[in-house]
Amino acid sequence: MADTPIWLVALPLAGALAALLLPRLATAAAIVTGLLTTVAAGVLLFGVATQGALHYEIGGWTAGLGIMLRADGLSTLLLLMTALVVLAASIYASTYFRKTYERARFWPLWLLLWTSLNALLLSGDLFNIYVTLELLGLSAVALASLGGKRAAVEAALRYLLVGLLGSMLFLAGVGLIYAGYGTLDLTVLARVLEPGPVAWPALALMSSGLLLKTALFPLHFWLPPAHASAPAPVSAVLSALVVKAAFYLVLRLWLDVFANVITPASANLLGLLGAGAVLWGSWQALRAERLKLLAAYSTVAQLGYLFLFFPLLLALPAGPDRDLAAGGLAMLALTHGFAKAGLFLAIGIIQQRCGHDTIRELDGTAQHLPATTFAIALAGVALVGLPPSGAFLGKWQLLAGAVDTGQWWWLVVTVAGSLLAAAYIFRVLGHAFGHRPYPNQPVTVAREEWPALLLSAMAALVLGLAGAPVWGLLEIST
């Protein structure tokens, strides 16, 4: 049980190596690895829920020189979400890639991506975060360029350059922190950081780097082309998990490590940018011609909601009200992860069946793929924030926090964003109704449609109805 954190990093890494060395068995290796890692994530969640936060020292070297893996409530929840999403997308991808050479290139990179995600979520010091961030960026870019077409390669190159820019800024910030405080360990820094000439520039540098990677408005320009041109399973993971990992780092830094340093003004800045993301992203999604572009802009908007929580969390006094809001934030992040992954997988099915994903020409397809359309509908319910999705509970906390602290403008932004989201989701669903007769079987290709359906159902139903433990788990911190 105590070893579980390292299993979460070692298993996908081993799987990646196996897929690289045995290309014929790559798919099987990947699925097996996926199942084992998901079980490990479940065991970790159980362990954290019963024993509290878990630590693991790699190689027995203690913190300072060694690498410490830490799992608390928030990171464990994200780890489980990552595992479930990647597993579902892996099952989908096993039929998506038809040619052997495609599969031989895809699986090692895919599992490497998973390794870096898990390692990032488990990192306990700034150095490890830097390394895993780079690994994540490189594998994500490589996967995004697998589409092969010109648009995909261009978007991937832009993604890479932006990512590198961000990482370099992050590293500069890390250097500053080390210069000022002599340690890189997160828990130690949380105790010793004070506002001053070291903390401020460091926070600014690290945040700029991370906000570039999280695609917060107005630094979001790279995201829509990259996510829209990538292959469907890759888009799913990029939107649902990779940007979420960068956001997780922003959350950790701002609320844990630099908690004594941040001011309400800086939190308001984040909130303002988040509001811009919600409104601009939703508006662009409404105008999008292609489904994948719609989904990508929707990601920009949904991440904006997450940033709206920052000014609220700072304005609420520490206590049950703030815990409720923090739980709402986690719930919104988790729901979006599942919903966006399900949406991209469903769009992938449509794209493969008809060769295009133009919204205006969807009529026939939406009707003879009822299960896929239902997956899109469920994901849509979760993205708009309608009950019984987890996002409804998250948005409730956002609205309640806004009313409680008297910051009514965030409420207006949330409501406007939700209505715009409803507009662009139902614009797509309107094409599901038509004159063609219903096919005899609701689910046509099981291996592709079930992952999309289950992911969307997770977001729209399971998290909303059975999500109360999330708040309890978040209380567990290192």
Partner 1 sequence: MNWDAWLPVLVVASSLLPGLVIFFLREGNHRMRTLLNLTGAVLKLVLVSSMIWGVFHEHVYESRWTLAPGLELVLHADTLSVLFVTLSTVLWLVTTIYAIGYLENAPHRSRFFGFFSLCVSATVGLALAGNLFTFVIFYELLTLATYPLVAHRGTSEAVRGARIYLAYTLGGGMLLLIGTVWLYVLAGPTAFVEGGILGTLPADYHPQLKMIFLLLIVGLGVKAALVPLHGWLPQAMVAPAPVSALLHAVAVVKAGAFGIVRVVYDVYGVNFADQLGLLTGLGIAAAITIVYGSVMALFQDNLKKRLAYSTVSQVSYIALGTAILGPIGTIGGVVHLVHQGIMKITLFFTAGNYAETLGIHKVSEMNGVGRRMPATTLAFSIAALGMIGVPPVAGFVSKWYLGLGAMEAGMAVWVMPVLIASSVLNAAYFLPVLYRAWFREPGTAWPAEHIPAARFETNAALLWPPVVTAMLALATGLFAAAPYSPLEWATLIAHREYGL
Partner 2 sequence: MLTTQILYALAGCVLLALGVRGALLHASVLLRIVAINIMGAGVFLLLIAVAYRGPGLAADPVPHALVLTGIVVAVSATALALALARRLQVERDDG
Task: Summarize as ranges the residues that interact with partner 1 (CB under 8 A).
Answer: 320, 323-324, 327-328, 331, 370, 381, 386-388, 392-393, 396-397, 399-400, 403-404, 411, 415, 418-419, 422, 426, 430, 433-435, 437-438, 440-442, 464-465, 467-468, 470-471
- Segment interacting with partner 2 (CB under 8 A) among 44-52, 150-158, 295-303, 410-418: 150-158
* Smaller CB separation from partner 2, 88 or 144: 144
397 binds, among partner 2, partner 1, none (CB under 5 to 8 A by kind): partner 1
- Least distance from C-beta 154 to partner 2, angstroms? 6
Question: Applying CB under 8 A, which part among 100-108, 163-171, 365-373, 374-382 lies near partner 2?
Answer: 163-171
Least distance from C-beta 453 to partner 1, angstroms? Answer: 12
**CA–CA distance, 91 with 6 (Å, rounded to integer):** 24
Residue in the block written with tokens 């990992």:
245
CA 465 to mean position of chain CA atoms: 21
Pairing of strands 68-71, 54-57: antiparallel
364 binds, among partner 1, partner 2, none (CB under 5 to 8 A by kind): none
Tokens of residue 352, six digits? 């493969």
What are the tokens at 441?
């079987």
From the list partner 2, partner 1, none, pick the one residue 174 interacts with, judged by a Cβ distance below 5 to 8 Å according to partner type.
partner 2
Residue 217 structure tokens: 């408005």
Task: Tell me the per-residue interface mask from 173 to 192 with partner 2, x by CB under 8 A, - otherwise.
Answer: -xxx-xx----x--------
- Distances in Å between the Cα of 355 and the Cα atoms of 349, 358, 424 are 10, 10, 22
By CB under 8 A, is residue 120 in contact with partner 2?
Answer: no
Q: Per residue in 134-156, is it b (16+ CB within 10 Å) or e — as a string?
A: bbbbbbbbbbbbbbeeeebeebb
Candidates 156, 203, 257, 391: give the one binding partner 2 (CB under 8 A): 156
Q: What does the alpha-carbon distance between residue 217 and residue 297 come to, in Å, rounded to a whole number?
A: 11
CB of 421 within 8 A of CB of 385?
yes
How many Å is the maximal CA-CA distance in the chain? Answer: 69
Residues 63-82: x where in contact with partner 2 by CB under 8 A, - otherwise, as a string: --x-----------------
CA terminus-to-terminus distance, the chain = 17
In whole angstroms, the minimum distance from the beta carbon of 169 to partner 2 comes to 8
Q: For the chain, count helices (H), then strands (E).
A: 21, 2
Q: Which residues bind partner 2 (CB under 8 A)?
A: 65, 127, 130-131, 134, 137-138, 141-142, 145, 150, 153-154, 156-157, 160-161, 164-165, 167-169, 171-172, 174-176, 178-179, 184
